[in-house]
Structures are given as structure tokens and as C-alpha cells.
Amino acid sequence: MAELHIQAKLVNLLNQDNIQLRNPPYTTEDSEAGQQSLQELAVNYAPIVCISVSEVASALESLRSQAVKSGMGNKTYRETCVELFLPKDLKKYTKKNYYLETKLDVLAQDIMDRITEQYGLKYIQLIFKGKTLTPEKRLDEQNVKNKSKMMVLRVSVPERKKQMLAVEEEKKTQDQSVQRTQKGFQILSERDGTNDPATTPFLEIADQKGNPLKIPHSEKKALILAMGFHEKGRALMKRKQYEAALGHLVQADDQFVKCDSKLLNTVDNYAVLQLDIVWCYRALEALSYLDDGKRRLQMAEDCFHNCYGDQQQRLMKIKGNARGEEVLFLRLYLLQSILAHMVGKERQATQKLKQAEDLYGRLCLDPGDIKELKDLGFSEQEARLGLRACHGNVAEAALHITHRRQEREEMKQKEREKRRMCVEGLATLRELGYSKKDAAWALLQTDGDMDGAYRMLLDSAVRTNNTELPINQSKVEQLTYPGFEPEVALRLTGENIQVANQVVLPPELLSPFPASSLSEEPSTTSESACRTRMHALFPGSGSQGEAPMDVDLVNEVLKDIPLHEEDYLDLTLEEESEVIDKMKSYLYKNSASSS
């Protein structure tokens, strides 16, 4: 890791000075090292990177060797080799990293056997991008490509066996978790609310306050999978299981790509996902992902700008305040500082760290204030979010939390009323002869408005009957129920006279279809949303006839959906504090050494 860090800094300096090591005087015509020029360069760079001249010279030679191979267009290297980082004691005998010619459709164990034979290493592991390669799997199955870099790690006999078993078990567990998460949210994404609304949960895409968003069904499916994987990944991050979390977050990224770009540019979900992925890179010390991390942070910054607006004006207009989202920018600045430091851009790293420190100072909370709010009956999460939203004012935070609780309770009451109306409307429409599925579909389309659902079904029946034979007038004359529209009765019952005579049309269905009070607040659009969230409606134990395994999978993934709409903003800042201290020690140490 230290060697990669040194090389990254030197590459930056070489680029600034427009120096190409594969050219003279640093490389001779015979592709050998120009020792004197390299030594002079090492002497010049050593004080800048705060490393000994010998270490700089060694790193420069390694970079020169790589540049020569690349510049010569070595086809063998480009197309058939992988690069090995050998244990330190072996580098005494081979100054350069070892380039191993191999096909990619061979087992990792075959490569390990060749290394064992050549270097006398009896028990080893191959580390690729922070993960241990499985010996029984092929290289290409583990995403190893030509020119990939792998670390050779020496281990003892019992440790190797133990680690192999642990790695295999962990990988199996992670794969199963991803599969279960995908299956659970796939089941939920297929549901549209036409199942039994009293027992079968389904997910609704809502804005930051819980108001449902009108989204096409196909896009909604991809969005549910994306947000589902993201929430599972965030749950694992809270438990510090970063490798498992990263697997779920990458799946979320794949699903978000399938969503409408306009929606992703108006809500912050995609930006937060990019931050979470790079935060996992940091925790796993995955230095090989530097370029990808830089790209993702740029996407996050652009998305925040599009979503929140200049000076966060759009966010203020939608939410009323922007204090809660400052924790996201704290992480953004910290990660930008880390990446700048890793490539030797110390000034930029210091600038970003200063921005992060300023935000950290504003976001830190007095434990006494949190305790005071908890004593009033609020949760610790509510206390943190409320205090940050209200600039640390305890009294205002209490009012803010109470108001948000009232809003959530009103939303729950509307959901309960919607559920009651759906159940009653479903029963009434079924009495009129409609199938359970058609009735539930119509009620879903009209947000539970039974009058509107009946009108929709009736209109559909009329359009269908326009292409069929007219209703038999003799059957119309046989109807005995007074006050009922005979043609309507026969259409609803498939011209079954006996059933039509028994159907009693409720008085409200004879009205000119007044708007239901349930739909006073229409669904919002993405224009009025700064974030989308999954909202579980009508949670139950599963519908009748549903496979027990499906019920278990659904209940399992529903547990990872946070109850609080701002859960993603609730950071204790403990990790951030540790990162700030570590970055200060790195940067100030380098600053002191250079001065």
C-alpha cells in the first residue's frame, strides 16, 4: 500500500514536469535504466514527497520499467500477462515486480503452483482488488484480466486453511444475501396493489414526505430493485460489514442505470449511492479503485447540484431547510480530500479537509441536548436530526420533531382510510359481478375512489360491448328491480337475468360520481421531490396461496427499509471524526517535513 502511495505521488510530479521515464536520458537505447538521471531525479523529488532518496529511486525505477513495457507495445505483456506483487523478502532477489504469462481460463490454483515452484513459497494466497482469489475458480471467473495486478501473500499452513474456509463461507454468505435481496424486492416490484390489500404488502415510491409519485410500472420495478439493494447495503454499512455492503451497493448501481435519467437528476438517491460506494472503498482501503472513486464522487457532486440547485435553493424550497443534508457534503469533502492526498495533490487535499472540518464543527451536537430531547420522549435519531435541522436549538428541535410526527401520523391515517375504502370498495364491486383482480386494479388506478373505479369498469365494459352484439331487449324487459339501469345490470352480470335481478346498485353509484374525499391530495411528481423513498403499504403476513419462502423473503427485505424518511442523514459522525484526525496527521506531517 505504501509503495502504491509513493508511486501515485511520483506519477503526479512526473506529469507536472512533463517527464516520460521511458525516454532518454532516463532510459537508454537498450531499454536499460539511465542510472545517473534517475538518481538526480530521485534527489530532487525526495524532499517533495518526504521519502528517502533510495525509496524514491526504487519507485522511479519501477515506474520506468512499467513505462518501458507499455511504450514498447509489448504484446505479450498486454495480452497474456498478469503482474504479481511479491513478498518483501523476495524483492531482494528481484528488483522488479514479476510479470507472469498466463491464460485467463486457468484455475487460480495453477498460478499459485507456478509461484510456489519458482520462488519456493509453500503456502500462499493471491489477493486481487482487496479480495482473496478462490483457488478452485478460474481467473476470468473472478474478474482477473490481462495486466491485472495481484498481491502474493505468504501464510502458514493452519492459517491458510482457516482463511480459505472463512473466505469461502463469507463469499457464499454474501452471494446468498444478494440473491435473497434481489428475489425479495423482485417479488415486491411485481406487485401493483391488485392483490388482497388487507394482507399483501406492496411498495409505493414516494417523495421525501411520503406522498406517492406517479412512475411508470416498468421504471418502478427497476427503481424498487435499485433502492432495495441500496437500503440493504446501508444496513450492512451500519454494522461495519463493508465488503458485503459493497456487493449490494454495486447491484443497486446497476439497477439505477435502468431508471429514467430525468428522475435521477432531480432526486439525491443516486448521489448518496455513489458516496456510499466510495465510503466502502475507503473502509476497505481499496486503493486500486482510485480512478473509479474519483469518477463516482464527481457524479455525486453533479447530482447534488442538479437536485439541490445553486446554493441549495431548490432543496430549501421543497424542504424548508438544508441543514440535514450537510452530513452528505461532509462525507463528500472528506473523500475528495483522501483521493487528492493519494495522488500527491496536498494543497487540494488540505482545502477539502478544511471544508470538511468546518462542516463537522457545525454538525457536532451537544450530548446534553440529545439527552434533554430523549427525556422528552423522542428517540436518539429524532434528536440528532431535529437538532441539526434547527441549528442546535433544543426548543425549536422539539417543535420540529413534533410537527414531523404529526405529519407521519396524518399520512398513516390516510393509509388506514385508504385501506378501509379499498376493502369496502372491493366487496361492493365484487357484488356487482366484477372479478377480484379487476376490481382491485380499478381501485388502485383511482386511489381507492370506489365511484371512480366503478365508472372506469363501466366505461371499459361499454367500450368492449361496442364491438359486440347489442343487449337482447327481451332480457331487459324481464328485469323486475325498479330504478336500476337495465342495460348496466345486464352488462355487469354478463346478461345473466337471475343474477341481474338480485343485484342492488348502491345509491352512491347512481350519483353523478362526486370526487372522493380520499383523493384530496393528488400524487406528486418528481418536480416537487428531492428524494424518493420506498413506502411499505398494508404490511401483513402474506396473501393466501403465496409460497412460504416468498413470504419469508418479502418480510426479510422489508426489515431493511427504514421507518424514518431521513434515516440516510442520521450519522453519528464517529467515523468521520476518525478520518479527519487521520487525514490531519498525514497532511500536517508532510507539511512539517517539507518545511
DSSP state of 241: -
Q: Are 199 and 541 in contact (CB under 8 A)?
A: yes
Cβ count within 10 A of residue 480: 9
- DSSP 3-state of 290: helix
Place of cell 352480470: 493
Cβ count within 10 A of residue 440: 23
Q: Are 530 and 318 in contact (CB under 8 A)?
A: yes
- DSSP 3-state of 131: strand
Beta-carbon-side half-sphere exposure of residue 454 (alpha carbons within 13 Å): 28
Q: What are the φ/ψ torsions at residue 38 (nearest 5 degrees)?
A: -65, -40
Contacts of 363 (CB under 8 A, 6+ apart): 326, 327, 330, 388, 573
Using CB atoms within 10 A of its CB, is residue 430 exposed (0-12), middle (13-18) or buried (19+)?
middle
Residue 81 grid coordinates:
500477462
Q: What are the φ/ψ torsions at residue 379 (nearest 5 degrees)?
A: -75, 165
Rounded Cα distance, 20 and 61, in Å? 12
Rounded Cα distance, 505 and 428, in Å? 9
- Concatenated DSSP letters for 154-188? E--HHHHHHHHHHHHHHHHHHHHHHHHHHHHHHHH
Place of cell 500500500: 1
CA quadruple 549, 243, 293, 359: dihedral sign: positive
Peptide bond into 87 cis (omega under 30): no
Rounded Cα distance, 305 and 271, in Å? 10
DSSP state of 512: -
127's enclosing H/E stretch is strand 124-128
Rounded Cα distance, 85 and 87, in Å? 7
Contacts of 424 (CB under 8 A, 6+ apart): 450
Place of cell 475507503: 282
Residue type, 162: K
Say what the pTM is: 0.64
Report the 3 state secondary structure along 466-483.
Answer: CCCCCCCHHHHHCCCCCC
Rounded Cα distance, 340 and 281, in Å? 15
Residue 355 grid coordinates:
471544508
DSSP state of 414: H
Pairing of strands 124-128, 131-132: antiparallel
> Among 558, 540, 494, 513, which Cα is nearest to 184's?
558
From the CA atom positions of the chain, what is the Rg in Å? 32
Residue 404 grid coordinates:
414531523
**Cα dihedral 182, 184, 185, 186 in deg (nearest 10):** 80
Q: What is the pLDDT of residue 512?
A: 33
Pairing of strands 124-128, 149-154: antiparallel
Q: What is the pLDDT of residue 531?
A: 77
> Among 281, 205, 285, 209, which Cα is nearest to 249's?
281
Residue type, 337: S
Residues of the chain with pLDDT under 50: 73, 77, 462-469, 481-485, 503-525, 540-541
Rounded Cα distance, 444 and 446, in Å? 5
Q: Are 230 and 252 in contact (CB under 8 A)?
A: yes
Place of cell 324487459: 477
Q: Are 532 and 230 in contact (CB under 8 A)?
A: no
- DSSP 3-state of 305: helix
335's enclosing H/E stretch is helix 326-342
Report the 3 state secondary structure along 75-104.
Answer: HHHHHHEEEEECCHHHHHCCCCCEEEECCC
Cβ count within 10 A of residue 482: 5
Q: Are 353 and 584 in contact (CB under 8 A)?
A: yes
Q: Are 77 and 99 in contact (CB under 8 A)?
A: yes
Q: What is the pLDDT of residue 511?
A: 35
Residue 537 grid coordinates:
403499504
